[in-house]
Structure 1
Amino acid sequence: MSWDVLLLRLPDDFTSVQQIPDAHTLAPIGSRRDVLAAITQAAPDTDLTDPTWGELLGPTWSVELNIGAEDPVDSVMLHIRGSGDDVLTPVFRLAGALRCKVLDCAAGDLITPLETSGWHGFQQYRDSVVPPRH
């Protein structure tokens, strides 16, 4: 089970997904080559052996980066597992490097580096439905 967030390019003045018009077309993040280079620069420990599906490991968490095979890249989905607020640092570092906003897919809201309620809510939900491993 993962907390999923989507990195996507939106105009700077959009602060919520409700502001996105139905007819709005997302601007691509960039070419595959440029996206992979930005990921490598922002999070050098990211394993991009498979350039369509990266992995970043932290002390108590992991992030899978679903980059896809399309060129240009329209968005990057992050599948976050584990615990610890320090996982938000690379999430927002990646978003900054890609000039993207971060959409909490569970809540349907754009989030900021100071917004941790979605991550905390996911962990509480996960812990209530998934039995602990022994």
Structure 2
Amino acid sequence: MSWDVIIMRFPESIQTMADLEILTSPVEDLPLCGRDAFRAKVSAAFAGTDWSEPNWGRWDGPAGTVDFNIGRDEAEALSLAMLHVRAEDQVIGQIVALTESEG
């Protein structure tokens, strides 16, 4: 199975896809967290993630591979992260744990 996942933060007024669909103007970028904090969260949820390229982490596990793209912008605060998932459904719990982690 292969899919892409975007992790980003929305204003609290947006809770559902219907809330997004009725928007008439762009939403402001809300910071997700700092780069170091995000790498730490990924490494906690996906132990053994390789961050030898600081903007691109790779986790290889028994269920497959997940790449974590945090972009080339050197700003400390991230507004989004992209996950490129080529893995079995077992990684869904780890992805949810990553998105629900504090900070």
Indicate whether 1:32 and 2:35 are aligned. yes
- Supply the AA of the counterpart residue of 2:26: A
Distance in 2, Cα, partners of 1:41 & 1:96: 12
* Paired letter, 2:3: W
TM-score (norm 1): 0.62
String of CA shifts for 1:45-70, please: whole Å, max 9, x gaps.
21111110101122131111111132
- What is the alpha-carbon distance in structure 2 between the residues aligned to residue 91 and residue 13 of structure 1? 23
- Tell me which protein shows more strand as a share of its residues: 2
Gaps of 5+ in 1: 100-134
1:86 corresponds to which residue?
90
Structure 2: 5+ residue runs without aligned partners? none
Q: 72, 82, 97: which one pairs with 2:101?
A: 97
Q: Give 3-state SS (helix, strand or coil) of 2:86's partner.
A: strand
2:10 aligned residue: 10
TM-score normalized with structure 2 length: 0.77
Larger relative contact order (CA 8 Å, sep ≥ 6): 2
The 2-side partners of 1:53 and 1:90 are apart by: 18
Alignment of 1:96-115 (within 5 A): 96-97=100-101
Measured in 2, the distance between the counterparts of 1:25 and 1:13 equals 12
User: 2:79 matched to which residue of 1?
Assistant: 74
Give the RMSD, CA atoms, in angstroms: 2.2
